[in-house]
Amino acid sequence: MNGGKTPASMPIPSGIEVAKVRTASLGGNVDEHAVYVRSEWHKFQQMGAPLQAFAARVVPLPRSVLDVGCGAGQELLPYLDTVSVGIDVRRSGLVEGRSLFGSRAPSLLVGVGEALPFARAAFDVVLCRLAVPYMNVRMALDEMARVLAPGGVLVLQVHHLRYYLRRLLRAHTLKEIVHALRVIGRGAAFELTGRQMRGEVFQLIGSLQRMLTAAGFAVVEIDQRDRTAPIAVARRR
């Protein structure tokens, strides 16, 4: 199987760097993010491809796929015969991805979800798994809508308030307690005022649906089998 392809219509602007093809070396200092994305890769191998299964209900045979906040890029494994691109703000995860994919690696780029370096309507599928809570949510959704072709599908998994309440209840250290309380506070302020402070936030289903609609999506499905991390499926209008 060949690696992912990069379309000529997607020039990489200055400031957006392609992750180098090299094996990550942890050396003396362990890169906790690199360790995390590698563990997520192996978890994906065990659990399969739930986001791809949701996307296939709307776009069965996509020609181009983008994973926003891709980590090591494991969500792109089912799409290596298409134009497949991953983007993430953390270089270390992309380097791990290049190592794990080997010669099959898709394009893995350093960049942010709020300013995607791609042409309008460049993709048939956009995936975003548990990354949008760390972004400016409205800006990121607007960008995902911009790069999706009409009729294309966004599959978005988010952290619900329940996720952080569970973390709070299971916290073992003061640091964990403070982190959960901060996220809950920022998320509550976002829900009540519509203004997002800088930092991680949760999403509630109703407000997420409204933001998706405002960004130009038609919500197809909300899967809440995991009540701490629901999955939204939305078609680009």
- The CA distance from 228 to 212, in Å, is 19
Average pLDDT taken over every residue of the chain: 89
- The CA distance from 17 to 23, in Å, is 17
Residue owning tokens 């976002």: 190
Nearest to 16 by CA among 88, 95, 69, 98: 88
Please check the confidence at residue 8 and state whether its pLDDT lies above 70: no
Q: Quick: pLDDT tens for 208-217.
A: 999 999 999 9
Task: Give Cβ neighbours of residue 204 (< 8 Å, ≥ 6 apart).
Answer: 160, 161, 191
Same domain, 137 and 181: no
Q: Lowest-pLDDT range, 25-39, 114-128, 173-187, 219-233?
A: 25-39
Same domain, 184 and 210: no
* Number of domains the chain contains: 2
Same domain, 48 and 77: yes
Same domain, 105 and 167: no
Same domain, 42 and 111: yes
Please check the confidence at residue 71 and state whether its pLDDT lies above 90: yes
Same domain, 120 and 25: yes
β-bridge mates for residue 233, sequence order:
155, 221
b vs e for 43-82, b when ≥16 Cβ sit within 10 Å of the residue's Cβ?
A: ebeeeebbbbebbbebbeebebbbbbbbbbbbbbbbbbeb
Cβ atoms of 90 and 113 closer than 8 Å: no
Same domain, 153 and 172: no
Mean pLDDT within 72-78: 96
Q: Quick: pLDDT tens for 90-129.
A: 999 999 999 999 999 999 999 999 999 999 999 999 999 9
Same domain, 67 and 39: yes
CA 122 to chain centre: 17
Nearest to 207 by CA among 52, 196, 199: 196
What was the pLDDT predicted at 31?
Answer: 84
Measured CA distances, 70 to 113, 150, 178 (Å): 10, 23, 27
- The CA distance from 36 to 150, in Å, is 35
* Longest CA pairwise span in the chain (Å): 50
Q: For residue 68, what is the domain's CATH number?
A: 3.40.50.150
Q: Quick: pLDDT tens for 172-210.
A: 999 999 999 999 999 999 999 999 999 999 999 999 999
Same domain, 227 and 137: yes
Phi/psi at 43 (5° precision): -65, -40
Mean pLDDT within 9-24: 32
Mean pLDDT within 52-79: 97
Same domain, 179 and 141: no
Same domain, 80 and 30: yes
Same domain, 193 and 210: no
Q: Quick: pLDDT tens for 124-153.
A: 999 999 999 999 999 999 999 999 999 999
Domain span including residue 87: 1-160+203-237
User: 49 by DSSP, 3-state: which?
Assistant: coil
Cβ atoms of 221 and 233 closer than 8 Å: yes
- Model confidence, pTM: 0.87
At 47, is the pLDDT very low, low, confident or very high (cuts 50, 70, 90)?
Answer: confident
Q: What is the DSSP string of 105-118?
A: --EEEE--TTS--S
